[in-house]
C-alpha cells in the first residue's frame, strides 16, 4: 500500500511551488491504491491547471512498476460539506446550513471565523409573550468546530 505521508508531501511540494493559495482539503489512499486528493483555494476557484499540476507531481514521483495506483485530484465541490477552516474563512458572507452534533439544523449567514468556531447570523422565530405570537428575530450564534457535524453552503439561484 502506498504511503499517505509521501503522497501528501508530493502534493504540498507542488502547492508550495504554485504559491497561489491552494491547500489540501482531504487526502485518502484506499487499500486498492486509489488516491483521492481534494484541493481548494483561499480566494477564487481551483483551476483545471491547478489539479493537473498537483496530479503530475504526484504521478511522476511514484513508481508504477513498484506499486500500481489510480489517482484522482479534484477541487472541493460546492455541494460537499466544508471540512477545512480555510473553507469557512473563504465563505464568509455566504449562507450556511449547519448540522450540529446534537442533530439540530441551523441556517444563517457566516459572519466570521474565529480560531475554533464560526459565527452565524440567523433568523429565528421566538414567541412574543405580549402579543402571543411568534416573531422573526435576528440572532447571532456561535458554533465551535467540535460541535459541527456538517456544514454546507446553501446554493441560491435568486
58-82 pLDDT tens trace: 999 999 889 999 999 999 988 899 9
Residue with cell 475554533: 116
Distance CA 64, CA 80 (A): 31
* Residue of higher predicted confidence among 65 and 131: 65
Task: Tell me how far the alpha carbon of residue 89 is from its chain's centroid.
Answer: 10
**Coil, strand or helix at 74:** strand
What mean pLDDT comes out for the span 16-21? 96
Half-sphere exposure of 41 (CA within 13 A, CB side): 16
Which of 1-5, 6-10, 124-128, 148-152 has the least mean pLDDT? 124-128
What mean pLDDT comes out for the span 144-158? 93
Provide, rounded to the nearest whole percent, the portion of the chain with pLDDT above 90: 80
Provide, rounded to the nearest whole percent, the portion of the chain with pLDDT above 70: 100
Terminal Cα distance for the chain, rounded: 47
Give all domains of the chain, ordered by start, each with its CATH number: 4-75 (3.30.300.20), 85-153 (2.30.30.100)
DSSP secondary structure of 85-101: HHHHHHTTTSEEEEEET
**Coil, strand or helix at 19:** coil
Strands 70-75 and 34-41 turn out to be parallel
Amino acid at each position: 500500500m502506498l504511503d499517505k505521508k509521501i503522497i501528501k508531501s508530493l502534493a504540498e511540494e507542488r502547492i508550495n511551488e504554485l504559491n497561489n493559495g491552494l491547500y489540501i482539503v482531504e487526502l485518502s489512499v484506499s487499500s486498492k491504491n486509489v488516491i483521492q486528493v481534494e484541493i481548494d483555494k483561499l480566494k477564487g476557484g481551483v483551476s483545471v491547471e491547478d489539479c493537473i499540476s498537483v496530479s503530475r507531481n504526484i504521478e511522476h514521483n511514484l513508481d508504477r512498476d513498484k506499486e500500481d495506483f489510480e489517482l484522482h485530484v479534484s477541487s472541493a465541490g460546492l455541494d460537499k460539506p466544508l471540512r477545512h477552516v480555510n473553507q469557512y474563512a473563504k465563505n464568509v458572507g455566504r449562507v450556511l446550513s449547519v448540522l450540529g452534533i446534537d442533530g439540530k439544523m441551523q441556517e444563517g449567514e457566516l459572519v466570521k471565523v474565529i480560531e475554533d468556531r464560526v459565527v452565524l447570523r440567523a433568523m429565528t422565530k421566538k414567541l412574543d409573550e405580549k402579543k402571543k405570537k411568534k416573531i422573526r428575530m435576528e440572532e447571532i450564534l456561535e458554533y465551535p468546530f467540535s460541535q459541527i457535524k456538517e456544514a454546507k453552503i446553501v446554493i441560491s439561484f435568486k
